[in-house]
């Protein structure tokens, strides 16, 4: 697999998703700083949310070959400006996370549309809890399991 950085708001499910893809026990631990786990670069949501850390996030993305934007269903999409993907001169894909929490398909669609507008392609829909979509994402990333 390629070196892959995940970005998204705090609580969007980045760390849980990495644990699930790597076949680790899913254990909640808030990400405090940029953490490398094998080929994954896990980032704290605060890096997006705080102006002073935003630049560090963009710089960290230079270490990755592939960028994943993570958007949970039912939460705000304002961190995903249109064409955000053009900030990075590398492939950007999207993940709609926590699809098990969607009250209706419209919530998944809303998250997907924000990712598409941000320039993410392709966009996956997953739930680390139910396992839905995880095999497809794992194949795309070529995660050894
Ligand atoms: N229902 C549901 N909950 C999930 C899913 N994935 C993660 N969660 C829960 O969401 C919470 C936050 O998950 P994390 O993986 O820590 O989120 P994060 O994006 O790494 O957050 P930061 O480290 O703060 O940036 C945890 O309580 C997880 O158990 C999912 O697919 N479905
Ligand atoms: Mg985390």
Specify the residue with its C-alpha closest to ligand 1, atom 5: 98
Q: What is the pLDDT of residues 115-131, one digit of tens each?
A: 999 999 999 999 999 99
Could you tell me which CATH number the domain at 4-141 has?
Answer: 3.40.50.300
Q: Can you give the residue ranges of every domain in the chain?
A: 4-141
Among 80, 82, 122, 129, residue whose Cα is nearest residue 101: 129
- Return the ligand number nearest the Cα of 127: 1
Report the pLDDT value the prediction gives residue 118, as an integer from 0 to 100: 97
pLDDT at 145 over 80: no
- The reply to whether the predicted model has a pTM over 0.85 is yes
**Cα-to-centroid distance, 16 and ligand 2 (Å):** 7
Mean pLDDT score, 45-71 = 93
Protein residue whose Cα sits closest to atom 9 of ligand 1:
13
Taking Cα atoms as reference points, which of 67, 118, 68, 127 lies closest to residue 97? Answer: 127
């Amino acid at each position: 697999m390629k070196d892959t950085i995940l970005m998204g708001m705090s609580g969007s499910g980045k760390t849980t998703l990495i644990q699930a893809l790597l076949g680790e026990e899913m254990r909640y631990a808030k990400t405090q700083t940029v953490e490398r786990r094998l080929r994954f670069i896990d980032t704290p949501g605060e890096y997006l949310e705080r102006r002073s850390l935003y630049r560090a996030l963009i710089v960290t993305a230079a270490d990755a070959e592939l960028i994943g934007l993570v958007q949970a269903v039912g939460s705000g999409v304002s961190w995903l400006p249109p064409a955000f993907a053009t900030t990075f001169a590398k492939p950007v894909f999207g993940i709609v996370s926590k699809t098990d929490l969607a009250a209706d398909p419209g919530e998944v669609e809303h998250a997907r549309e924000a990712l598409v507008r941000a320039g993410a392609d392709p966009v996956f829909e997953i739930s680390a809890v139910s396992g839905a979509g995880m095999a497809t994402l794992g194949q795309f990333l070529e995660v050894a399991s």
